[in-house]
Amino acid sequence: MAKNNPFLTAQKQIDLASKYLEIDHDLVEILKEPQRVVEVALPIRMDNGKIKIFRGFRSQHNNYRGPYKGGIRFHPDVNIDEIKALSVWMTFKCAAVGIPFGGAKGGIIVDPHKLSKAEKEKLTRAYVDKIFEFIGPYKDIPAPDVYTDGQIMSWILDEYNHISREHNPAVVTGKPVAVEGSLGRDTATSMGGVIVLDKLLKRIGIERDKASVAIQGFGNAGANVADILYHQGFKIVAVADSKGAIVSRNQIDPHALVEHKKKTGSVIGFESTRTVSTDEFLKLDVTVIIPAALENVFTAENADSVKAKVILELANGPSTIEADEIFHKKKILVIPDILANAGGVTVSYFEWAQNLSRDYWTLEKVESRLQEVMSSSFETIYEKSLQHSITMRVAAFVVAMERILSSINLRGNGN
């Protein structure tokens, strides 16, 4: 197995949480494997007239608490273990915040930056065609993820409706508002993260204007969280993207940085900043560091060098098991991914509910409901961590597992 295999990490996290519950071991084993994994070949005629075969996946982990739910990513490093792990984390994420969904994840091995818009549309529609029988408003509801967006969700919606000969807006979430998406969905992941970060900082007595922040990843989630934090008075002093990292002695203006990245393709070279290595970036002496990109950022090799007081995991799976253990010993507080970035799936749930009811909410209502869900979820998980003297990640898994296993016990496992 590959080093830091994310699927093995997810399984170990389930085992760790199970120690704090009096449960049947066989039920724990049910949660360690997806119920279904689909792999498809996607032949696409490229703009040059040649056929190219892409590989796609959909992992459906568990649906005891509701339909499968999870994003679709387009990335050259997509692999089956990553997709299975992400589907596990989606199950636990939904349960941790009380959303009535199970977990799924999809992905296509592709560098979308090398595709034309027409080629991306063909690829998206081919993927929907191959997994059509496995998705639907009451089966499995996809959403955006790494390098996918509202446009791609719109193509998924259109292709699904074309094949089904029905109008089913609830088949996918993360759609633009113009095609029955929800207000507030584009910033929901970052907004949810800021809500729980604010709650934790109040618990440990750190004021916003005294909190310095480093953000690793400056795509949708990273840019949005920077914008929200900036307007709430936090001091953003470092930002990294796939090309490099920058540090400033002063506040970094995220709006100006977005414009700089649009012009240059990277955060590097932004005014009044210096460029640093990724290793140096992760070692910065800041209040909060926010991984907002991909998995396995923090490992056994670098975790001991981390100086931040708080880690807010907007990315999925940015910390390995070994890194978690080191953070716990160093008393670094980690707000785990299955809580920190659950704002996205929470507002996806709101979007799905609005699509089914044909009753669309105001932005004020969406944000108010998001605040309620994230705040109450934080309190439940934080109190559980204090009760057992465990990390918030283990506490989040314990809370989620209690809810999932309760559903399994009440429904039966089909045997």
The amino acid present at 228, given as its one-letter code, is I
Among 112, 188, 190, which residue's Cα sits nearest to residue 151?
A: 112
| Structure-token pair, residue 116 | 């034309």
Backbone φ and ψ for 211, nearest 5 degrees, come out as -100, 120
Q: DSSP E strands: which ranges in 229-343?
A: 235-241, 244-247, 274-276, 288-291, 310-312, 333-335
Please name which of 73, 78, 349, 312 lies closest in space to residue 196, comparing C-alpha atoms: 312
C-alpha–C-alpha distance, residues 154 and 196, integer Å: 30
Q: Are strands 274-276 and 244-247 parallel, antiparallel or unpaired?
A: antiparallel
Element of type H or E holding 61: strand 51-62
Measured distance CA(278)–CA(282) in Å, rounded: 6
Q: What span, in angstroms and rounded, lies between the C-alpha atoms of 15 and 307?
A: 28
Q: Which two tokens stand for residue 2?
A: 């590959």
Tell me the three-class secondary structure of 152-206, residue by residue: HHHHHHHHHHHHHCCCCHHHCCCCCHHHCCCCCCCCHHHHHHHHHHHHHHHHCCC
Q: Is 202 a catalytic residue?
A: no
For residue 18, CA distances in Å to 85, 135, 327 come to: 17, 30, 21
Q: Count the alpha carbons within 13 Å of 347 in the hemisphere toward its beta carbon.
A: 30
Residue 340 contacts residue 89 (beta carbons within 8 Å): no
Report the candidate in 246, 258, 177, 260 with the shortest Cα–Cα distance to residue 220: 258
Nearest partner of 332 among 320, 342, 324, judged by Cα? 324
Question: How far is the C-alpha of 74 from the C-alpha of 131, rounded, in Å?
Answer: 16
Which listed residue (69, 105, 235, 384) is catalytic? 105
**Block residue for tokens 């649009």:** 262
* Residues annotated catalytic, as ranges: 105
